[in-house]
Structure 1
């Protein structure tokens, strides 16, 4: 079963000047002769949070495997955003490898502009890419291509689309500082009104314990606002909704609401935050701070509620804190039915493609193919507990019974304070060496056919036994019906609603709708923040009434019609993928 240490350089195919096939008819470049020498590949990556040369242990893995270096070109880091994309597109060369969001950059447009190439001539030995032919066919259908492999979606899965794609924790959920919840006696939380009362008691307790007036139940930020106030949207997910433009759509297609609806779910969440503000539970720096500033407050223990497990738990649930019984855990909100993203047999909207101007296309495709192999899935995963396990021999290994287990170093970097990588694996800080691609090829909750266990180490029995048995976990479990993990609790109590995993691509707005949307976004977001910080109920209602009047005058109904159709089309795609999966399996 042992795959062996990642040090054997694969033999490279010396291409005989393969002509580039079908790139919108605009590219006549040919491949360079590949003698296997070290090359640097430019990777245009919409998802990367790091720009420059890949460092550390992942760099060592791909150097040993393919004799390549990666130069990450990241719009998120450069600050150029769409400008960087436009500049490189105008030059006719995005990069040797291109990672993009199909909701933002149409695959059809990339093909037509001659920016990505058909991988077909380079797929003879690409056994892993070939496994996902239905996913690549799905891209072709959207792009209007009858043949070819123009890209491979990320987050592909062999699981049913009705199965949650998440691991032990959902993407969304009401997470609270469980230690303070315990101190106030584990009061019942029937609904969001009860949650507000509980948070008020917790804040009083935390301030009494710490002697600090800087502890707040809630801390907010504006960085991710788009069609609506992002923080206000999050509690709607606790009740099965997610956004599509200005529409909040139920995971099962049973309900659609627009953000301006009087008394609707979005207004209810704004009211929740406003009532919290009027009670003094909201960090007064919320409207001016960044995500990073807010995150630091979680690390310091000065915030008591988290919209997501990957915020509060990542920031505060250290090994030491959990051993002391302190940390964020899922609250027992009785009426919640949390939105969950279903597994995606055809992948999501994030895509990896071959750049049309790449000189060494075969080696690029070999690398992409490897990313979809079990070895590549493990290695290109991240550091956190809910990601794939890392490098065999370094962070995990097979025990005598053939079961995957984390090494001591694996526990240290995934659940502890990090660590320094041994020189033979590239050296340096482990976190610094995580793949900068920030691209999930195959869901970490999928099963590795070679081990019979998930790629996500947090789902391994050995890890659950060792990591979910601290003082914090045990106390939470005792009060949550004996559940070991949040997902176990949610599934056992019918408190999760899975949106089937369809690779729906939202059509691009036409110029008129795009212009209107820009004005409407500003109106909705500004009014939302003003409403949250209203000093009275009457002021709160006046602000929202004014927002509705302003939206009507700005052509809101035209944009809402587009978003409602997209939401309904997305639901149709979800139902279709369930039907297709059932017929094929």
Structure 2
């Protein structure tokens, strides 16, 4: 098999062209003493962490996590200006229309960005291609505290002797800690509607569908009279398969990783195995649609439409991400028993990694074209992101508007802070103006995970885990849920019921697709996504089964088994590292 990626080919062509051009150019003048002195000073600043911020500087960030393209404005933009005298210009492949073309074009220019935020595999490729430069975190106190994780990650980059990248979302709590009170993915419904049905015991997914059917039949619209559905989906997050289905597989002990399913039991199986959770959850959504529970707009609407026009308006009865609840739940609604809460399903086996001690699968780097002066300022910015101040701005917001400081130094969310995700919070002009949500950090990525402990408060940065927030959320919803299930939190209930044993979170540099694998993956992805959506809306079970078999047959003809073999070998180091972390 060929072992050259598309990026390698692009860069090879660019290198050839540049060699021809350089051969025609005249000799470059040697630097003057003044030039050399400036370079030395900048190099010293980058190495020591001492840098002047007197001059405003703009950083261009190529950011695979961003859902926004352009200048960072609003309250967070003002924070960056006040704290560091910098501006951010975000290049977001996700909203570019053609992310692959954008990536290849910028790589071929030799300048991906001043700062790059990439998936791990792409960072490996960019290091090999010379698109990012080495850094030294030892002179930066906040980054230096994360040096163990940073060094371990970089051992797999380049020749393993230099630091090129900083993993995203690290913490200092240890590799097996799980601090949250909820799991990432699990069924949740409005508590009042669950109680209205008598808090039924749910043995399996069929029982869950029966519950959702009764809820939707009893409440076909929201209070405004708009049609409501048990389930509303969106396709714009899909990559190699339907992302919603991918997240639901975690209810049954498996996580989708491209063409394979990785289990809590450390097994790896093909996505297309009928004994696997992808098939199971796709069948669940098919059955839901047969019962009239799936929003008919699901295959064509986008996330923003679902979130703003449906979830926030009480038009969707089943949530599965724990963070979806933030778009609806409030203390006031909790007292009215309207908040969403988990509904245990007895046969589930929850796939939940521990908190991201080693990182979350993406990383930060500095572009190879960045000069030493700008590099020093970028390193200052990255160190600030890893500081208590930077992490508090990221995960909470601004003091006064979003939270206040208690006498013991801990924090309490204000009314605006409690409602910042589900209502239009106006930011004062002297703090940047506009709406809070519009001014939030559009980079959409960070260095410290919110589960890390703030040394200034002794609590997590996650506002949901502040003692004051937990106390404020002890509403009728929470109190009744705790009484019903005889547990202080959802996680504690899952653990005592044998439904949850968190697996160790690891962050490994994985094998990169070569051109042949990339072609197979791309073709199979389109078949998987198209076939899966059609199966959800199949007219009957016979058509569902026929579609599944046809999809698998077509994929096998495109090299699916080769792809599965590649991904099985690719993810085996994750299994090995997970076993070692226990």
With the shorter chain as reference, the TM-score category is 0.7 to 0.9
Work out the CA distance in 2 between the residues paired with 1:519 and 1:82.
15
Which one of the candidate residues 182, 192, 195 is aligned to 1:179?
A: 192
Work out the CA distance in 1 between the residues paired with 2:52 and 2:516.
48
Q: Deviations over 1:486-538 (max 9, x none)?
A: 33433343322322111123311121122122222222233322322222222
Q: Which residue of 1 aligns with 2:8?
A: none
Q: Is the 1:490–1:496 Cα contact (8 Å) retained in structure 2? A: yes
Which one of the candidate residues 36, 39, 50 is aligned to 1:17?
A: 39
More helix by share: 2
Q: Is the 1:405–1:462 Cα contact (8 Å) retained in structure 2? A: yes
Q: Is the 2:221–2:228 Cα contact (8 Å) retained in structure 1? A: no
Moved more, 368-377 or 300-309: 300-309
Q: Does 1:400 align with 2:407?
A: yes
Q: Is the 1:178–1:326 Cα contact (8 Å) retained in structure 2? A: yes
Q: Does 1:478 align with 2:495?
A: no
Moved more, 42-51 or 364-373: 42-51
Change in 2 beyond 3 A, CA 1:301/1:408: closer
Q: Does 1:37 align with 2:49?
A: no
Change in 2 beyond 3 A, CA 1:89/1:271: closer
Runs of 4+ in 1 over 4 A off after TM superposition: 208-213
Q: Is the 1:244–1:566 Cα contact (8 Å) retained in structure 2? A: no
Q: Is the 1:47–1:439 Cα contact (8 Å) retained in structure 2? A: yes
Instruction: Give how far 1:441 is off.
Output: 1.0
Change in 2 beyond 3 A, CA 1:35/1:438: closer
Q: Does 1:136 align with 2:150?
A: yes
Which one of the candidate residues 259, 263, 266 is aligned to 1:246?
A: 259
Instruction: Give how far 1:212 is off.
Output: 6.0
Change in 2 beyond 3 A, CA 1:426/1:328: same
Q: 1:416-435, aligned counterparts within 5 Å?
A: 417-435=423-441
Q: Deviations over 1:428-484 (max 9, x none)?
A: 322222222211211111111222111112111111011x2233333333322242x
Q: Is the 1:395–1:407 Cα contact (8 Å) retained in structure 2? A: yes
Change in 2 beyond 3 A, CA 1:264/1:477: same
Q: Is the 1:180–1:205 Cα contact (8 Å) retained in structure 2? A: no
* CA RMSD of superposed structures (Å): 2.7
Instruction: Give how far 1:60 is off.
Output: 2.1
Instruction: Give how far 1:153 is off.
Output: 0.8
Q: Which residue of 1 aligns with 2:382?
A: 368
Instruction: Give how far 1:561 is off.
Output: 0.8
TM-score normalised per structure 2: 0.85
Q: Is the 2:168–2:364 Cα contact (8 Å) retained in structure 1? A: yes
Work out the CA distance in 1 between the residues paired with 2:406 and 2:442.
30
Which one of the candidate residues 271, 274, 280 is aligned to 2:283?
A: 271
Change in 2 beyond 3 A, CA 1:84/1:34: farther
Q: Does 1:390 align with 2:397?
A: yes
Work out the CA distance in 2 between the residues paired with 1:341 and 1:225.
21
Give the gaps of 5 or more residues in structure 2: 1-35, 44-50
TM-score normalised per structure 1: 0.85
Change in 2 beyond 3 A, CA 1:364/1:560: same
Work out the CA distance in 2 between the residues paired with 1:214 and 1:411.
28
Give the gaps of 5 or more residues in structure 1: 1-13, 22-32, 382-387, 579-585
Instruction: Give how far 1:195 is off.
Output: 0.8
